[in-house]
Amino acid sequence: MLTLLKLLKDGRFHSGQALGAALGVSRSAVWKQLQHLESELNLSIHKVRGRGYQLQAPLELLEPDQVAGSCLPVSIHESLDSTNAEALRAIDRGVVAPFVILAERQLAGRGRRGRKWISPFAENIYYSLVLRIDGGMRRLEGLSLVVGLAVLRALREMGMEGAGLKWPNDVLVGNKKIAGILLELVGDPADVCHVVIGVGINANMRVANGVDQAWTSIFLESGKAINRNALVSSLNESLLAYLKRHESSGFAAIQAEWEMNHLWQGREVSLIAGVHQVDGTVIGIDQQGALRLRVGGEEKVFSGGELSLRLRHDS
């Protein structure tokens, strides 16, 4: 199926005979594969008698030689349940970190707190980087916030100057989400463990059903499609640069930069933890990446993976 897609990705008409010859199959087999592409990947294919078949729009697929400029080993998959899940399986198989898992689509993409991450084929970035951590608890402090800065830099290189951060690990344009981060840890943080850094970026998505929060994409913000290979390459380089800085100097060295890019700095917010809610004003973050709020005239610090931050209605 992917071979057929590569023949059609230029957006031009291709005859059934030519496609069959290239694939070494009959025209009827080509027709069945085209139907499969439409139903499985939700791609629109135009059929014109005498001219052949054409994708509704040119399609850019992820290419290993274009995304591996950072020297990170990269594995690209046509379809996965999720890149984080595949990364965890790769750790179990003994694949040596660091390495990157990419997918053209996810069937069960997920975000924080079990939220579904909508993952249409060949439109966005579904990315997981696996790191090995050897007895370095310090390397885990504020890690998701460090990743947020790296994603932000990559987005700004793609022209998203108005993008900013939301604690703990969202990237927004205005109040709309453009990227999210999900970190998963396996092993013993005090000895040897692996961290899976999952990143989802809305790149060229125009329509999405089933999203339960305000969202946007690079295409919707800029009005033009971006080169996803270039975005992945930029993300690789940005992540390696920030992770190196974090490893050598700790999160405290990056704290001020993160606060400068926090869109909700000084805003009135509600912090949700299960059925509990705390209302306060964002002061900033501490040297471990925990959120500092002014609550009832005093400062309180919050951290944890199940916390959710929302703007208050009167903010």
Which of 116, 206, 310, 312 is labelled catalytic? Answer: 310
Could you give the C-alpha distances from 263 to 110, 160, 162, 284, in angstroms and in order? Answer: 24, 14, 10, 11
| Tokens (6 digits) for 305 | 């993976």
Q: Which residue has the tokens 């496609």?
A: 19
Asked about 177 being catalytic, the answer comes back as: yes
Check residue 215 and give left, alpha or beta (phi > 0: left; psi -120 to 50: alpha): beta
Which of 105, 139, 177, 228 is labelled catalytic? Answer: 177
- Whether 106 has a binding-site annotation, put simply, is yes
Tell me which residue of 311, 213, 215, 214 sits closest to 266, measured CA to CA: 311
| CB 205, CB 225: distance < 8 Å | no
Asked about 294 being catalytic, the answer comes back as: no
The order of strands in the sheet holding 298-302 is: 298-302, 291-295, 276-285, 268-273, 308-311
- Whether 82 has a binding-site annotation, put simply, is yes
The DSSP bridge partners found for residue 73 are none
- Whether 110 has a binding-site annotation, put simply, is yes
Asked about 310 being catalytic, the answer comes back as: yes
- Whether 84 has a binding-site annotation, put simply, is yes
74-77 and 52-55 beta bridge pairing:
unpaired
Which of 112, 139, 166, 228 is labelled catalytic? Answer: 112
What is the three-class DSSP state of 145?
helix
99-103 and 298-302 beta bridge pairing:
unpaired
Q: d(Cα 193, Cα 97) in Å, to the nearest integer? A: 11
Helix axis angle for 16-23 and 27-41, nearest 10°, is 90
Annotated binding-site positions for biotin: 82-84, 106, 110-112, 177
Annotated binding-site positions: 82-84, 106, 110-112, 177
What residues are annotated to the active site?
A: 112, 177, 310
